[in-house]
Structure 1
């Protein structure tokens, strides 16, 4: 036959495969007849990791590079590393899971902090591969996280999207029931807006808004997982004691120094969110980032460590990279976070993304449904375990399809 490559030349039907995790690669090997011992030995060779190491002793970096090269891996170093002038350098490790295991054993025996680097490499790769998470309430309720939708229930007069619409107990309960019927796994009740130009609310006023709604929703929906959106420890304590299962803190504990201690005592799950501003209220500022995902990652890692030091259980932490004005008035940064969301899996905690109806999606508020749903889908495909949305039915419908694609 002639196919443009020459007479008598026939193409083999070769297919380039792509696997996002070692388990799927192992399943594929088994499907083509590889033995179980063979799968165990080879599955780690099919997943390539590219790991950004922000800072190393120069002496450690040069030893590290030689050890990596000796097993067929690579450590990319900046030009100044060759000149032996810099004291600290950044490195990019390129290795398969199997090579990482061998490299770890080599680094354990080396000086200049390489043992610690090896320990961190194995830790971050281990937690990065984790896919199953669940949250357990002190009240005994549990939510298994996979593609969980958190429905937003704002009982505020000034929230940027739906302020004033559900400022009534009966309406709030009705809306909560609607969201659960549409597929929401978590209901997030908020009594204070933290968006641009919003007003401060006292703890007493916030409780006046959310507590009656919380109690009514809990009575109407005894099994649903309820989150309280607050940065005040006093509000969090009262609400958890009244039946809330989780606390969603947009300040990641910076808005109230007592928050972590209170939540540790309550043994309640919490969301830690990145925000460019240290205050609860976000501002309209076009902040510029050299690497927005690295900034978000480092911030969340630090807040997790502070929370754990205060007694919070690591398994009770959820991370939220922030979106829209919480990141920057420049919309490109929010899109970049969603595109690179998988990098945050190295924190070892479930990721929540709340992009619903936010201005970075463009257009008028009433025109952001499609963008909100698209962003939720992209977030889940890139590693999010919870999406916080206003439009539950539309989001769940799209995400049910996404589940079959992931």
Structure 2
């Protein structure tokens, strides 16, 4: 198969005036401020433990910290924007003060939470809803001029985990990306990152197909973020738990890196860092630095 994504692969992001070069893949470390996230709920939901975990993520090799005040696992408690903001408290500003080099993405589908996060110093908006759960989201992101992570998901909060068997998952995701990126570009949002939405309303088979067809997602127009860390489509077919699939996850990470993925969203940063180093050393050995 011809590899379309290799035509355009030198991406950069403007994060609050700081230019972030994505020619080398970046790691986004997950910092859940939630009591009910599926694999680490309640571990980092106070300021002290959140700051300590942020430091560990950075020391292990993360360049982006993804702060999530609300769990989006199946059957999680639904929170208002006000409750999200209360949970965040001073955590963003404290991390920025302690680790000014860190980039912070804010995982929310609320425009009001984005406004709060922007005033606290976040660098990236990570919206699982593609602007579908809050109609003010795209306009708010446009006002902040922050990079925006666009995720493929079902159209409502209530249906986001409903399993759909797509005729052609890659085609469907690309049609969604095409429509949504056009909307974002029309509003002046140019720094767009695409997330195919692993773990949200897709069958195991379709998610494995997305892994195998990563190079065709988004047509190479925007950088791809892959978030497969501790996802059930990996561990359930193996009869394992979310915490016991690190080896399998790294093999899949290597597969998507070979197809041009630029950001890995992970819990296990140190292992993802090893995978990226392995991938980069293999590129150098093949003399293919100019490729993915």
The alignment's TM-score, normalised by the length of structure 2, stands at 0.90
2:243 to 358, 366, 369: 366
Quote the Cα distance in structure 1 between the aligned partners of 2:87 and 2:8.
38
Query: Take 1:367 and 1:290, find their aligned partners in 2: how far apart are those partners?
Result: 32
Inter-partner Cα distance in structure 2 for 1:144 and 1:161: 31
Distance 2:219 2:83 in 1: 39
Q: 1:169 maps to what in 2?
A: 47
Instruction: Say whether 1:331 aligns with 2:204.
Output: yes
2:145 aligns with 267
Per the alignment, residue 318 of structure 1 pairs with: 193
Deviations 1:38-75 (A, max 9, x none): xxxxxxxxxx848xxxxxxxxxxxxxxxxxxxxxxxxx
**Contact in 2 for aligned 1:231/1:280 (Cα 8 Å):** no
Count of paired positions = 278
Determine if the alignment matches structure 1 residue 135 to structure 2 residue 13: yes
2:215 to 342, 347, 360: 342
Offset at 1:396?
0.4
The DSSP-based 3-state class of the residue aligned with 2:13 is strand
Per-residue deviation at 1:257?
A: 1.0
Could you say if the C-alpha distance between residues 251 and 347 of structure 1 is closer, same or farther in structure 2, counting changes exceeding 3 Å? farther
Write out aligned runs for 1:70-149 (5 A).
129-138=7-16, 140-145=17-22, 146-149=24-27
Match of 1:353 in 2: 226
Partner of 2:62: 184
**Paired residues of 1:352 and 1:386 also in contact (CA < 8 A):** yes
On the 8 A contact 1:338/1:382 being kept in 2, the answer is: no
Q: Between Structure 1 and Structure 2, whose CA radius of gyration is higher? A: 1
Q: Which runs of structure 2 are paired with 1:158-237 in the superposition (5 Å)?
A: 158-237=36-115
Q: Is the 8 A contact 2:29 2:265 kept in 1?
A: yes
Tell me if the contact between 2:104 and 2:122 (Cα under 8 Å) persists in the aligned partners.
yes
Q: State the shift of 1:371 in Å.
A: 2.2
Is the 2:110–2:133 contact (alpha carbons within 8 Å) kept by the matching residues of 1?
yes
Structure 1 unmatched runs, 5+: 1-47, 51-124
CA contact (8 A) 1:254 1:279 kept: yes
User: Is contact 2:35–2:45 with CA below 8 Å preserved after alignment?
Assistant: yes
User: Where does residue 279 of structure 2 map in the other structure?
Assistant: 402
Is 1:307 the counterpart of 2:180? The answer is: no
Structure 1 residue 310: Cα displacement: 2.3
Residue 156 of structure 2: aligned partner: 279
Question: Helix, strand or coil: the match of 2:67?
Answer: strand
SS at match of 2:40: coil
Return closer, same or farther for 1:385/1:241 CA change in 2, 3 Å cut-off.
Answer: same
Structure 1 vs Structure 2 CA RMSD: 1.7
Determine whether 1:156 maps to 2:34: yes
CA shift for structure 1 position 188:
0.4
**Gaps in structure 2 of 5+ consecutive residues:** 284-292
**Structure 2 Cα separation of the partners of residues 274 and 327 of structure 1:** 10
